[in-house]
Every structure is written in structure tokens, then in C-alpha cells.
Amino acid sequence: MEYNNETLPVESRATMLRRLFVFICLTLGGMCLAALLISFIVKNPPTAVQLRISTILQDVIVFIFPAVAIAVVSSRLPARFLSLDRVPRVWPMFWAIVALIVSAPIQNQIIAWNEAIRLPESMVSVERWMRAAEESARASAEIIMGGSTVGDLIMGLLVAGILAGLSEELFFRGALQRIFTLSDRHVHAAIWSAAFIFSAMHFQFYGFLPRLLLGAFFGYVVAWSGSLWIAIIVHALNNMMVVVSSWNARRLGVDNQLEEIGIDSPLMLAFSLLLTIAALSMLYRCCRKNLAQKHRELTKNS
């Protein structure tokens, strides 16, 4: 399997550990600063405006700043370090979006399975804590995306859709996955490590598995295409579909139908799985052709 190795030079494990240490320090510092600022903004009970402002601060200080900072201190070409220097091509973008859309039934079923997990009776206190954390995160998300006006929809799209997609991809795929990738041989480990941390840092334990798989999908999009922009756009689109669906459900006073597609429907799940595999195969083939063309151009110009 081929990957875009223009941004993947062979590096030492010591270099990776140094970068990871600096990145962790930057992230922890950002968390402390964001927590301090948010404590002055968010009151109890929090309003939608307060939570939106706190989300913007968190995205900028905790996610965007550490990613940009580690790229600047690690490379003379920070945009290349973050895989931001390559303009996304149309067909890889198209097939990545198709893969996201056709996999919705599978994602919903995995979410249902994940939410149905029960811990042993000896860990009942842990399960209560996990469910309380899940409900708290869900309630905060509902407030951020709350309201049924056009203004509420626009704010939800900007904050929970576009900004979240941009900041999280910069942090987890642009910076963290890049730090973990010592060479092409370590790409799979880097992708799944970054995806694991991506899912864990959301602190929504009953959505851990689907978010892990989604993070791995974004990771392979970056590894195959060499462009973080595709992952940013697809991630933002995924978030925006959730925002629009939730907003429309509130406006009409009905349940969110997007979350129910494919659940307990074996035929639809099988169809979704086949289409997802086909879309991912086409995505990989498009990226492989692009990489071969790029290699020929570099060879010709050398």
C-alpha cells in the first residue's frame, strides 16, 4: 500500500519523542489557559452564547495553537508539516465525501451497539460516572446547537461544524498523527494512535468506538491524499450534517431521523457496507494515481 511520502521523511524515535513532549506541554498549557478564561465566561446554568464562546476559545487555544506552534518549531515549512501545502484534488474529495455519506447506516448501528454496552455489577459506579459524563457532554452539545431560528443554525454550522472540523483535524491529523509517523512503515500505527486519542479526548465513552473509526477514516484520507484539507472539509461536513439534522428536528418538533438510519436493518447495513468499501477503494485508487503522477513530474523535473 502506497502513501504520500512527500511529508514523511524518515526520522528518529528521539525526534518523535521530543516533538511529542513539546506538543503535550503546549496542549496542557492551552488547556489550563482555556479553563481559566472559560471560568470567567460560563456561569451556572450556562447559556448558548456562553458555551459557544467557550467552545471557540477551546478550539483555538487547545487545538489550533498547539498544532501550529509545533509545526513552526519543528519545520521550516510548517504548512508542509501539517499537510496543508497541497491543494485538494476533486476526485479524492468526492470519494471521501461519498464514503462518509454511504457509511451513515453503519455508523448509526455501531453507535447503537456502543451505547448498549453494560459493565459488570462490580463496576456499576464507573458505569454511572461514564453515563453522567456522556449525558453532560450531550447536554452541552444540545445547548450549543440549540434553537430553531436561522441564526441558531448559522452559529451551529460555524462553531460545531466548520471550526470544530478545522481545529480537530489540525490537532489530531495535522500535528499528532504527523508526530507519530516516523516513516511510511509507521503510518498505520500513527493513524490508529491519533484516532484513539481523538476519540478518548471527547470523553464520550458510549460513542468511543464509532468516533475511533471515524478518526481512523480521516487519518487514512490524509495519508492517502497527502492533503489535510480533504479531512478538514469532510470532518466539517460530517459535523454540519448533524447540526442541520438536529436543527430541523427541533424546528419540526420531531425526532432526529438521521440518527435512526440503518439501525436494526440488516439489508441496509449490508448495502451500506458494500458501498463504503467501494467508495474507499475508489478513494485509494484516485490517490494512488495522483501520487504516481506526482512522482513522474518530480522525476521529469529532476
**Could you tell me which residues come within 8 angstroms of residue 83 by beta carbon, excluding any fewer than 6 positions away?**
7, 173, 174, 178, 222, 226, 227, 228
CA dist 23 and 13 (Å) reads: 15
pTM: 0.89
Q: What gap in Å lies between CA 50 and CA 56, rounded to an integer?
A: 10
Tell me what pLDDT residue 269 has.
92
Q: How many whole angstroms separate alpha carbon 174 and alpha carbon 139?
A: 29
Query: Closest Cα partner for 235 from 147, 292, 160, 290?
Result: 160
What's the pLDDT at 296? 52
Determine the Cα–Cα distance for residues 36 and 118; give it in Å rounded to an integer: 36
- For 85-89, 167-171, 232-236, which range has the lowest pLDDT when averaged over its residues? 85-89
Report the mean per-residue pLDDT for the chain.
87
Res 10 pLDDT > 70: no
The four Cα atoms 142, 54, 239, 83 give a dihedral, to 10 degrees, of -170
For the chain, what are the domain ranges?
84-301
The verdict on whether omega for the bond into residue 210 sits within 30 degrees of 0, i.e. cis, is: no
Phi-psi region of 181 (alpha: psi -120 to 50; beta: other; left: phi over 0): beta
Locus of grid cell 500513527: 190
pLDDT at 61: 97
41-92 pLDDT per residue, tens: 988 888 888 999 999 999 999 999 999 999 999 999 999 999 999 888 999 9
Q: How many CB atoms lie within 10 A of CB 117?
A: 12
How far, rounded to the nearest angstrom, does the alpha carbon of residue 102 sit from its chain's CA centroid?
18
Cβ contacts of 82 within 8 Å, gap of 6 or more: 67, 68, 71, 170, 174, 175, 178, 228
- Determine if residue 75 is left, alpha or beta; phi over 0 gives left, psi from -120 to 50 gives alpha, anything else beta: beta
In this predicted structure, the answer to whether residue 300 has a pLDDT above a threshold of 80 is no
Is-contact 276 103, C-beta < 8 A?
yes
